A and B are shown apart, each in its own frame.
Chain A
Amino acid sequence: MKRRTRTPTYGMMAEFDNPTDVVAAATRAYEAGYRRLDAYSPYPIEELSEAIGVHSTKMPMIVLIGGIIGGIAGYLLQFYTHVIDYPLNVGGKPLHSWPAFIPITFECTVLGAALSAVFGMLALNGLPEPYHPVFNTPNFALASRDRFFLLIQANDPKFDPAETRTFLQSLGAREVNDVEH
């Protein structure tokens, strides 16, 4: 990730105590023109990701490519072994006995797809990440229990400490706090 221009704080966080409010707030913030925003919830809320402008992910494509690579590699491994490097005549059967190669090709496809799914997801999410500024937010430990948070980053072009604070407060937040770097 590119080094962001240094801002006095990382951003401003509004805290909500139910999913409906945070989805409403995220929708309003996006409509108000904020783009560098993120929301935090203790479980996946599809409406929330939609509200901050995440409509699709790259995951299916990554998994498809991973699966194809796994499958081709698995087949080629068997082809190379049995036809090129170590041809072994078993009962006069053809060396390139492709039906017998299918089970391992299939397993390698699944393995490639599953590995690329998990590691692709972690990589795109930037995990593992030992330190992140949002953990400086008061009460943020509750984001993994029963609180919902909406963050507007300080490097958002529309961000203004006073104005953004008023805006977030108008959304019915329990609390609005600055997030230190």
Chain B
Amino acid sequence: MSDVLLAFESVEIRRGMGIVVSDFSFQVSSGEVVVLHGENGCGKSTIIETAARILPIEKGQISQHGELVIDSEGRRKLSTVPFGLTLQQNGLVGSDTIAEHLNNMMSICKTKINLAPILKQYSLDHRSNDLIAHLSGGQQRKVSVIAGLLPAMISKSPRLILLDEPDSGLDESAIQMLSQHITSLRLAGHAFLIATHDERILKCATRINNLSHDTEQKPPSGDVWQLPEVEAAKPNNWLMTGFSYNLKTKAGFANNGIAGFLTLGILLSMVEPFELNNLLGLKMGFVLLPAFVAGLCGDPVVNLLRENRALDWWQANTATPRAIIIPIITGFVLTTISSYIFLEELQLIVVVAGSLTTLICSLLIGFLQLSTNKLSRPQAVFIRLLTPILILPWSIVVNELIAYI
């Protein structure tokens, strides 16, 4: 008896002001390819994204591999079994190379293989070290599709693969290759839920579902997927992934560091340090202000992941990478420099306070950014209106540290 890898039980989903899907129940078992096929706006992408826990549900519950992953009470749990996901908007970060993005996926699966043969099949082997941002739209789509298929390609156990319009933007040969992969992975026991209009992908289906009923179909035959040589990969770590993104893109410096240094420069342009000798409160405020301003610029990794719905891709698969290490370093550097300038000495407690100020402020702003991520236009919302509350605790810290001058 085949395992049920995905189960929707009486699910109701709202998008905008309408109910897109109502009382929807269905299952995808290992060895099945279920294609969601219907007119535009009927809810195909909604089903895929809800199965990946990206969208909330109004009623019912969804399970993966028998584990509850989301229900209408707001409970959400990451599946302990990795699954593959290809979103319509790719979910890629332009600053990653092809190899880096696919290595991220493999580290989430804790297994790795030699990617060269697979990349060659999609004519990407010569581009594996190129930045995703430098690829054409079609090449980026191929990367997104490969990342979606990888959990099945590197696993002996059945895996669930969710593909939203995978054919979109692919050339003829890539679609043929994708069809072959779907068939061979199905025969190896993996399960697919695919939203598509493409006839070639439709032919791979064991069932076609138009959201109201299922139609069984005889799928094509093919060769069973041969598992390549696998080895264990270091598990993905959100802290190190965030650090790596930050270091690679210098986002922390561009987003936060420059603001801190600008603040320091502006302060120096207004006053000579010796003029503050008798103004202890002001002096300490000047020392900690650059670190504070740097923190107010928010989490640079969260900003980075906003492109192409990469944030949704990460949140669906694993914990969201965050910037922790670089903000601490930024705060440390800014406070050290401002201490030398305004205090003419280095006090460890002041430098620690500056480092923590940058970290805590950037984490809080990042939290606010994440909380508005589900909006249609998250960049248009005035989230920074809520940041002035941070001035109060900052001023309390400044007052407390005056004793150390």
Asked if chains A and B come from one complex, the reply is no
| B residues in contact (CB < 8 Å) with A | none
